[in-house]
Amino acid sequence: MADDGIYTKNADIQALAGVNAGTTAKAEAATDVYVLNVEAAINTRTGTDWSTAWTASELDDNGTMKLVLTQTGAAKCAMNVIIADPTGYSARERETALDFLNTMYEEGIKMLSGTGGSALIAGE
């Protein structure tokens, strides 16, 4: 099965969810359920269609925006993985991981929203 995401891949999600994440919850079949919804939410919250820009190779060549997109999407998906099967984490580990991932996600949204997404895509 191939990753369904455009800029969020299963390997990135697994890395952020950590070794304690449940095997079933972090499997590609499970994360594919989250990825497209998360990517659509990022596009909506930032007011920019990053999925189309990524596919059309319209993003900056140095990869900065691609890295921000990948990390933002993976952080939100990793949160979903941990919530779906929290049994591998103590309550404190789970809370810390979710707080960290939520901060990463929200900071990514701020960066993507504040960049003037259409200007970045247009190369301005």
Quick one: pLDDT at residue 100? 98
Q: In the chain, how many domains are there?
A: 1
Query: To the nearest whole percent, how much of the chain has pLDDT over 70?
Result: 87
What's the whole-model pTM score? 0.86
Checking if the pLDDT of 103 tops 80, the result is: yes
pLDDT, one tens digit per residue, over 18-54 is 999 988 888 888 888 889 999 999 999 999 999 888 8
Q: Which structural domain range is residue 54 located in?
A: 10-115
Please check whether residue 121 lies inside any domain of the structure.
Answer: no
Please check whether residue 122 lies inside any domain of the structure.
Answer: no
Query: To the nearest whole percent, how much of the chain has pLDDT over 90?
Result: 57
Please check whether residue 109 lies inside any domain of the structure.
Answer: yes
Residue 92 to residue 35: CA distance in whole angstroms: 26
Q: What φ, ψ does residue 108 adopt, rounded to 5°?
A: -60, -45
Please check whether residue 22 lies inside any domain of the structure.
Answer: yes
**Tokens coding 70:** 């990948």
Please check whether residue 120 lies inside any domain of the structure.
Answer: no
